[in-house]
Chain A
Amino acid sequence: MKPSKRIDLGVRIGDLVLKNPVMTASGTFGYGEEFAPYGDLNRLGAVIVKGLSLEPRTGNPPPRMMETPSGMLNAVGLQNIGVRAFIREKLPFLRRFDCAVIANIYGETLEEYERVAGLLSRASGVAALEVNISCPNVRRGGIAFGARPDAAAEVTRRVKAAAAALPVMVKLTPNVTDIAEIARAVEEAGADAISLINTLTGMSVDVEKRIPHLANVTGGLSGPAIRPVALRMVWQAVQAVSIPVVGVGGIMNARDALEFLIVGARAVQVGTANFIRPAVTIEIIDGISAYLARHACRSVTEIIGTLKTPEAEPPGGGERT
């Protein structure tokens, strides 16, 4: 069944206008080209590409992945071709599609974040930046910036200044005690939006050999196992800030995506599910339309942030001083 054309799936994330609220999460959709044979990229709200650093990165030694109950651990270590090769070799392909391209960026230092943002702001075909301050699989940078409010704010300020007119979305880590505090710090520093969550740090052991399943020992947990945690954190972030919040974590189908929209996420990102069904994002978009039709909504914005709760302060959100 093709859902009715009259339903408006469009959402705005600051200055970024998306034709629907479904994006592909960074690191799970390559540079887009890997998935192009499996589904029409023109249908997607946005493609967020694999994290880009200033210079190419080799990544971590194998084994890099282990499936765990309802999820997977990865320790890819931000292997990527570097921002310049991305602009030269990958962006021209993505420009051919009527779909926002969001560049996920990573740096080991503030200067590196700044320079990557600067290069992308001058490239044509990038709609926004997503700043990864939350990768658990690298020794420097990444999570080191995401776990402290002052450091997270500083990265945000510097990227915002270097990004010229590009909207800046900051991607938060769940590996913190108070997500609301970090979210507010990033908002005050000028972020146009926040996205969360990145993976939860985890571990798995081969008991016969008594060795870790990942060469990196620890890795990032993703997939449906983390969805309740992600949903709770998105809900808390929505209360803490007034900029748009984008929900990520364990979304496998339209119902899961709707959970995030209902608690207040302006859009969602689909990650691990792409590995299981390469066309899953398109099924999710159609499923959201079908749900809206069933609930007699004309626009997806009618359901965003419509969670009915008893009057209660969200835990963590209530720790405002």
Chain B
Amino acid sequence: MKSKEMAPGEVLFNRALTPQHFLLALSLPPTFARPVPGQFVMIRPAGVGPQLLSRPLSLYGHRGGRDGSRIELLYRTVGAGTRQLAALKAGESVEILGPLGRGFTLGPDVDEVILLGGGMGVAPLTFFAERLGRTKAHPRVVCYFGAGSRDDLIGLDRLSPLCSELHIATEDGTRGERGVITGLFAARMRRHDPRRAAMYACGPNPMLRTLSRLLAGTSLRCQVSVEERMACGIGACLCCATAVATPGGQASYRRVCCEGPVFNLRDLLWDALSGRSGSRGCTSP
């Protein structure tokens, strides 16, 4: 009956890239399936700790072999759970569930891939770019990458060799253009042909929201990886809901963990069901 399990992982290294940013490499048993970029894992330190729930982290890298897999995760310490991860040392054990969710997909007629990322959004996008380099289609990759400041531009060294063009913006102007990355993209948007290009984005909600406004008047396809707090990661608790438009044009909630985390940007609703003043505990649609 049982076909999946929570896998034990061993920390290979947990490197501090800045005081807040960490690169975690794990070795996992061979049962860990080959992930699709955009998929994530639920991770927690093994045993009983002060934090109960696993944390969802996007896959940043994967290498599979006969005697096991190696995965990489990139994260920023934002709360108690990620701080607990930051304390992990080489040789220590973690519990991993995954790979989970639906990853990015590439249409057949795409010869230009546009990546737009903010902050930690770089992780799934870099993993995606790396896979694209190994596909037959081998599309051109144009990347827009932004962060608050130079020090928050994590993972550039791995990302830049994977891109034909890399455009950078920081809000304080310490690297690249000054301003938000969606501003830089807006100025160059016309150069991309919607019939041949496909866009992939991941980053903070305000960034995605602005992007959705920018793309509203165009036919450019865009898939985004959405973040939401999760408890189970496998579709059972309904804690990770995000509002989307259904094919029938109605508003409804989808579980980010199993119906996402990758959604079509066009389907995401920013006001209908979300927001702090929305209809609470609303009943039948």
- Asked if residues B53 and A276 are in contact (CB atoms below 8 Å), the reply is yes
Known: A36-B1, A42-B1, A65-B239. A278 touches B234 (CB 8 A): yes
| Chain A residues closer than 8 Å to B238, beta-carbon distance | 27, 50, 59, 64, 76, 79
Contact residues of A with B, CB < 8 Å?
27-30, 34-42, 50, 55-67, 69-72, 74, 76-79, 82, 108, 137-140, 211, 215-216, 223-224, 272, 274-279
| Chain A residues closer than 8 Å to B106, beta-carbon distance | none
- Asked if residues B229 and A37 are in contact (CB atoms below 8 Å), the reply is no
- Asked if residues B274 and A61 are in contact (CB atoms below 8 Å), the reply is yes
Determine which residue in B50, B51, B241, B258 has the highest number of CB atoms from chain A within 10 A of its CB, and name it: B241
Cross-chain contact of A67 among B81, B282, B285 (Cβ < 8 A): B81
Is B87 positioned at the interface, with any CB of A under 8 Å from its CB? Answer: no
A278 to B95 CA separation, bound complex (whole angstroms): 12
| Chain B residues closer than 8 Å to A275, beta-carbon distance | 53-54, 231-233, 236-237
CB distance from B158 to the nearest CB of A (A): 31
| Chain B residues closer than 8 Å to A56, beta-carbon distance | 284-285
- Asked if residues A63 and B6 are in contact (CB atoms below 8 Å), the reply is no
- Asked if residues B4 and A38 are in contact (CB atoms below 8 Å), the reply is yes
Sample 16 A-B pairs with CB under 8 A, ordered by A number: A34-B234, A35-B234, A38-B2, A41-B1, A42-B1, A58-B282, A60-B280, A61-B276, A61-B280, A65-B230, A67-B52, A137-B281, A211-B276, A215-B274, A275-B232, A276-B52
Known: A216-B280, A276-B52. A74 touches B234 (CB 8 A): no
| Chain B residues closer than 8 Å to A58, beta-carbon distance | 252-253, 273, 282-285
- Asked if residues A274 and B232 are in contact (CB atoms below 8 Å), the reply is yes
Residue on A nearest B234 in the bound complex, by CB: A34
Determine which residue in B233, B274, B282 has the highest number of CB atoms from chain A within 10 A of its CB, and name it: B282
CB distance from B252 to the nearest CB of A (A): 7
- Asked if residues A277 and B239 are in contact (CB atoms below 8 Å), the reply is no
Is B187 positioned at the interface, with any CB of A under 8 Å from its CB? Answer: no
Is B179 positioned at the interface, with any CB of A under 8 Å from its CB? Answer: no
- Asked if residues B234 and A61 are in contact (CB atoms below 8 Å), the reply is no
| Chain B residues closer than 8 Å to A55, beta-carbon distance | 283-284
Per-residue A-contact encoding for B218-243, CB less than 8 Å = 1, 0 else: 00000000001111111111111111
- Asked if residues B54 and A57 are in contact (CB atoms below 8 Å), the reply is no
- Asked if residues A35 and B276 are in contact (CB atoms below 8 Å), the reply is no
- Asked if residues B273 and A61 are in contact (CB atoms below 8 Å), the reply is yes
Is B102 positioned at the interface, with any CB of A under 8 Å from its CB? Answer: no
CB distance from A155 to the nearest CB of B (A): 18
